[in-house]
Every structure is written in structure tokens, then in C-alpha cells.
Amino acid sequence: MAPVATPPSATDMVNPGVEDVIAEALKHGKNSGNASDHTMVLNMGPQHPSTHGVLRLVLEVDGEAVVSLAPDIGYLHTGIEKTCEAKFYQQVVPLTDRIDYLCPMTNNLAYCLAVEKLLELEIPERAQYLRVLLNELTRIQSHLVWLGTHAMDIGALTVFLYCFREREALLRIFEGVAGQRMMTSYFRIGGVSMEPPLDFYQQVRDFLADMPSKIDEYEGLLTGNPIWIGRLKGVGYLSPEDGIALGVTGPPLRASGVDWDLRRDMPYSGYEKFDFKVPISQHGDVWARYAVRMEEMRESVKIAKQALEGLPSGRIVADAPKIILPDREQMKTQMESLIHHFKIVTEGFGVPAGEVYQAVESPRGEMGYYVVSDGSQAVPRPHAQSVLCNAAGARDHVQRQAACRRGRHHRFHRYRARRD
């Protein structure tokens, strides 16, 4: 008879994230060597309703105060970069939607701009304006999800319902222009996939006219609310130096006083033609990040209005018949167009050998694509530089700064000293 295997002991079982938190807890409890007497290690996620995604946090808590935390990422790993290596360049666009489903068009744009740099394509002005318009609408709908879920976590369910009311209007606009509510894949290498429908412009015009009053409505419910103020002001402090060192970008960095926005400082897709302000704050706490994002929605409305009013006429794709799929009507009458269509779909198109990095300002910060080409039709090495990984890595540092500013650590150590 085979020997019965002994079950592993608690020390043999590896629980990712817990080791870091327990090690930190032991530092706090170094006099007794047993942190569990004073703090508790809790598991939050990976399917916790407050994370709104598959993020797992291991927390060490002292009462209501979070003393330390360790983010355990990787629960949603779809292998998109590896999948891209088996695709033609034009086949990668739908995969970029899935990297961040709250701003799919932003990911479309970053990837398309990177490949267009390698191809040295000149994008028509009309396509650039459409890209700017839809990217700013995407920024608004992403911020609406942030604000609605943030408010719901603190108990303001009404704000959640209001935000998703406006988001639904935007998703209907995206569905009309791209045929899809979320995974739009509307942008193409060389331009956009098709002309927007005739009612698109009036729908966007009506939404932009109503949105400023909706933002006022959100702020009327939250900005003066004492619970909202107590939960946000002085919490989660991030200094500008720490933000830069940790690789934080976007609204969290601008809320710490760093005046940096890729749309203005490294313009792309014609952003240099638009007049807008970059909201910043010097406070660096959660309240500052709330204020910056609210102001960003207002600025996005202004940019979108400029793009809509100044939308030029002309082509929506570059003049590159060996790269851009021909018009369906041309295929019916021109043999050359039919041949181009057949070869692009079945064989792809070659991209000159080289490497390029292209970054855009996503709703959460710098979203970049590093693309390496060997001259073939396939993508040998793509890499997506996501904002979210750096933000997750900064959580523990931000939490510690907040705890220190509130004096929780000092009170904890004074209590330990009296007890010991």
C-alpha cells in the first residue's frame, strides 16, 4: 500500500501577496514578533465588488485603518501580445480593444499611430478630427465609469445611476458609428473604417450640449457632501517626486502638481490644433484626483465640440491602395481594386523593418505601444505599455503616505510602546 501523503503545512503553502504583507506586519510588531496580536491580514478579491475587476489586494488592517497592502496582479492575463505575433498588422486592431475595455478607441489609436509611423503614412485631416472627437467621447465615458463606481463604493448610488445614464448615451453613439457598443475596432491603420452615419453628428451635438449640466449635477451631489469630503480629502497622498519615480501618469500625476499631458506636450492626431486646458492640482490626494478628472470631462466636451464644428471634408483613409482596403463599389468595377483587396485580406501588407514607440494620453494616463517590424506581414514583437500596472504598483506607497499624514502609524507605535 502506498504511503499516505501528509498534507502541506501552512508554511509550505505559498499564498502570493500574503508574504509581503505579513513581513511588513512583523516590522510593525517587532517587539513581540507576532503581528497578529494587533493587526489582521485580510484578502480582498480577486472578485471583490469594490475592485470592479479581477484585482486582488492583500491588506493588513488595524481597525479601519489599512496599515499596508500588496497588490497581486495577473488574474486577467489573456496573452494579447503573444496572440498578436500570429496576426497580420491589420488583424491586431480588434485585440487592442480588449486591453482596456473602458477606452478601446484610445488603444486602437495608439497602435494605429505606431504602425503608421513605420509605414510613414499621411493621415487625412478628416480622419484625424474623427479620431480626436471619438477619443474625447471615450475619455468622458471612461471617467463616468470611474465616478459612478467610486461614488457607489462610498454609498452614493444615485451618482452611479446618473453616470451610467450618460454613459449609455455614449455607448449608443459608439454603436451607431462602429456597430459595437464597447469593442469598437473603429480605427484602422491609415484612418477610420467607415463614414459615420448621418444622424451621428446630431447625436453628438445633443450630448455635448447636455453634458456640462450633467457634470454640474454630479458635483452638486458630491462636492459639498460631508461623507464624500471626509473619505477623499487628505487620503491617498502622492507627492510629485514619488509619482514620477513610480511611473504614475495621467490624472493621478497631474493631481500631484506635475503639468504633463501628451495631447499638449507631445501632440498626435492633430491635437495641436485644439484649444484646451490641462487641469492640475497641487494637493496630491484623492480629492485632487477627483477634481482633476471632473475638470477633464469639461475640457473633453470643449475639445469634442471643436472637432465636431471644425470637421473638414475629404477622405477618411490614407491614399495607400496596397495597405488600405478599397471601396466596395470600386471592387465591383475595377480589377486592380479587387486584387488589392484579395492580397491584403489573405496575405496582409508588409511594414518596413524598424521599431517605434507611440504613446497617447488615455483616460488613465500614458498608453503606449512598442512595435518591432522585421519587414514581413506579421507582427514579430508588439508590446503594450499599460497605465494600470504602474498604478497598481503605487497603491501600497500611496496608502503608507496617507497613513503617515493622518498619524495612524504614530498612534499605533505609541500604543505598542505603552503596552510593551
Task: Tell me what pLDDT residue 133 has.
Answer: 97
**What amino acid is encoded at 184 in this protein?**
T
Residue 413: band (very low, low, confident or very high) from pLDDT cuts 50, 70, 90: very low
Q: What is the pLDDT of residue 73?
A: 74
| Amino acid letter for position 23 | A
User: What is the spatial distance between Cα 68 and Cα 216, in angstroms, rounded to a whole number?
Assistant: 36
Better-scored residue on pLDDT, 388 or 14: 388
Question: Is the bond preceding residue 46 a cis peptide, omega within 30 degrees?
Answer: yes
Instruction: Output the pLDDT for position 346.
Output: 92
Output the pLDDT for position 244.
93
List Cβ neighbours of 410 (8 Å cut-off, separation of 6 or more).
404
pLDDT tens digits for range 9-64:
444 444 555 666 666 556 554 334 444 567 888 888 776 666 666 778 888 888 87
Q: Please, what is the average pLDDT of the chain? A: 86
Residue 391 CA to its chain's centroid (Å): 10
pLDDT tens-digit profile of 226-276? 999 999 998 888 999 999 999 999 999 999 999 999 999 999 999 999 999
Which H helix or E strand runs over 192? strand 191-192
Q: Sketch out the chain's domains with CATH numbers.
A: 10-72 (no CATH), 88-318+352-386 (1.10.645.10)
Report angle CA 89, 90, 94 to the nearest 5 degrees. Answer: 110
160's enclosing H/E stretch is: helix 157-178
More confident residue, 76 or 157: 157
Confidence band for 400, pLDDT divided at 50, 70 and 90:
low
> For 278-322, what is each residue's pLDDT tens digit?
999 999 999 999 999 999 999 999 999 999 999 999 999 999 999
pLDDT of residue 331: 87
Judged on CB neighbours under 10 Å (0-12, 13-18, 19+), 200 is middle
Q: What percent of the chain has pLDDT over 70?
A: 84
pLDDT at 327: 86
Query: For residue 370, what is the enclosing H or E element?
Result: strand 365-373
61-107 per-position pLDDT tens digit: 888 777 777 777 777 677 889 999 999 999 999 999 988 888 999 99
Of the candidates 39, 70, 5, the residue with the CA atom closest to the CA atom of residue 416: 39
Cα–Cα distances (Å) from 137 to 28, 40, 108, 266, in that order, read: 47, 43, 14, 20
Least confident of 156-170, 289-303, 371-385: 371-385
Cβ contacts of 400 within 8 Å, gap of 6 or more: 68
Residues in the chain: 420
* pLDDT value for 100: 86
Least-confidence region, from 4-8, 19-23, 261-265, 386-390: 4-8
> Is the CB of residue 361 less than 8 Å from the CB of residue 261?
yes
Question: Which residues, in sequence order, are CB contacts of 197 under 8 Å at separation 6+?
Answer: 176, 177
The 10 Å CB-count burial string (b at 16+, else e) for 375-410 is eebbbeebebbbbbebbeebbbbbbbbbbeeeebbe
- Output the pTM of the full model: 0.86
pLDDT at res. 5: 46
100-149 pLDDT, tens per residue?
A: 888 999 999 999 999 999 999 999 999 999 999 999 999 999 999 999 99
